[in-house]
Structure 1
Amino acid sequence: MMNRETFTVDEARRKLEHYCAYRERCHKEVVAKLREMNMIPLAVDTIVVHLIENDFLNEERFARSFARGKFRIKKWGKKRIVRELQAREISAPNIREGLKEISEEDYLETFHEIAEKKWQQIKDTFPGGKKQAEALFRGRKKLSDYLLYRGWESHLVYEKINTLTS
């Protein structure tokens, strides 16, 4: 269903100021919101420039906040964070700045913690007897799929799997 409500540029600007003040937004989200409000391209550009000039919209700040949040809350690895930021059309320099929010010590500590926790969950489902070797192989695959999907680097994943299963 199409939104047929119309807004003046001032109304849209105020609405987007609140939208950006609520939480950090990227340019892509803001432009999509303005298009959803049926704003013409000139109005979209004008409002985006206003939001940037008045510091409602800042992609470096967005990248930093996004990286911090996804790492701390969702326990994503750097590769997943980078992929998600690229999908939001964030520039490479801003992505690099965002990743600086994650200390190497916290990163590795979190990686080891979630890998060990997940391995324990997987291991608890292993059957006994002759199926042990097959279950170990499946368990290693499950763990690697889990960690790789969440964006952890493959060299970390395979080193950890070898450590946990040897």
Structure 2
Amino acid sequence: MNSDKKLFTFEEIKQKLVNYCVYQDRCHAEVEQKMREFVLIPEAKEEILLYLMKENYLNEERFARSYIRGKFYIKNWGKTKIKMHLKQKGITEKLISTCFDEIDEKDYLNIINKIYENYESKLKGLQNYQKKSKTVKYLLSRGFEYDSILRVIEN
């Protein structure tokens, strides 16, 4: 028996996982990871997962939508980076695509423009083409698509 695993009753574990999901939207992978902290038989894990989904504590689409909004509007990540992180969390490609309507296209281009101008203005002592090149690389590293970046630069 692992000594680092905590012993609780089934109901206590279920309540802890409900609280875990209520605190912030979670994906299945995060909840399953959290379950590993507890001593549970596979049937109990399944029962808890079904309960969380049935009671709408665990909702993959809601998670994906709030994740996309947060990473874009708060952290200013591009779609490529957001998509990669969602895939790592086990969210399907189809669900990711349908949830990207959370990002307004105008907002997306405005954020690219804001980051572009902000980053480029900090680059001193470089030729214009060097500034442009470095800034495009920076935007790509933030997860923005090359064609979206070009569209912003050309305007």
TM-score, length basis structure 1: 0.84
Select which of 142, 147, 154 maps to 1:155.
147
Corresponding residue for 1:70? 71
Distance (whole Å) between structure 1 residues aligned to residue 152 and residue 110 of structure 2: 12
Corresponding residue for 1:113? 114
CA contact (8 A) 1:60 1:97 kept: no
Indicate the percent of aligned positions where both proteins have the same amino acid: 38
Supply the RMSD in Å over aligned alpha carbons. 2.0
Kindly tell me: are residues 144 and 9 of structure 1, through their superposed partners in 2, closer, same or farther at Cα, counting changes over 3 Å?
same
CA drift of 1:21 comes to 0.3
Matches within 5 A, 1:73-112: 73-112=74-113
- Segments of 5+ residues of structure 2 without an aligned counterpart are none
How many positions carry a matched residue from both structures?
A: 154
Q: Whose radius of gyration is greater, 1 or 2?
A: 1
Kindly tell me: are residues 140 and 15 of structure 1, through their superposed partners in 2, closer, same or farther at Cα, counting changes over 3 Å?
same
Kindly tell me: are residues 2 and 116 of structure 1, through their superposed partners in 2, closer, same or farther at Cα, counting changes over 3 Å?
farther
- Segments of 5+ residues of structure 1 without an aligned counterpart are 127-131
CA contact (8 A) 1:68 1:102 kept: yes
Distance (whole Å) between structure 2 residues aligned to residue 75 and residue 59 of structure 1: 22
Residues 96-136 of structure 1: CA distance to partner in whole angstroms, max 9, x if unpaired?
A: 232111111111111111111111112xx21xxxxx54xx4
